[in-house]
Amino acid sequence: MSARSALDALYRAEMKALYGFLWKLGATESDMEDLVHDVFVTAARRWDSYDTSRPARPWLMGIAFRVFSDARRSKRVAEPMPVITDERPAPDDSVAEQQGRRILQAALSSLPDERRTAFVLHDLEGLSVNEVSELMRCPAPTTYSRLKLAREEVARAVQRYRQEEARRGGVA
């Protein structure tokens, strides 16, 4: 299989996962297409260094993390992640699922980038601590520390969000 056809297949297989990952990192919908494009341009440039015996998703997520971080640093993407405020449930989603997504998004948006990324990669995407450390180019103890702090901050943010909802008379 040629590099181009392998990249095409990889794009079709992983594009949706990358959109979700970047959204969890805090990318806005308006930035998403450009970011995913940049991820695959970078992947094409680095294709010769990709170890095909390893899964592609963690490799692409590592690229996505760096693309997003670089874009955020250079202010090419929106800084604050908007909190989803639409109360209407999607036709195929239950109200509870919609509310859970809203709470998670609000909690994730309160985290610093490094902690949010470690949390998303490990707790939401299922990568091991060693994979997260490799992708984020940091030692495993740093990843463990980021995860511990992120989990504590997410729990506090969820609790604050629920208290605010209860004060406003909403169900949380």
At position 127, the amino acid (one-letter code) is L
pTM, entire model: 0.66
In this prediction, residue 72 carries a pLDDT of 83
CA distance 26 to 116: 9
For the record, the structure tokens of 60 come out as 């692409």
**Cβ count near 84 (within 10 Å):** 14
15-57, pLDDT tens digit by residue?
Answer: 999 998 998 888 888 888 999 999 999 999 999 888 888 888 9
CA distance 88 to 21: 24
Q: Span 93-109, mean pLDDT?
A: 76
In this prediction, residue 110 carries a pLDDT of 83
CB contact at 8 A, 165 and 95: no
In this prediction, residue 74 carries a pLDDT of 80
In this prediction, residue 172 carries a pLDDT of 53
In this prediction, residue 140 carries a pLDDT of 95
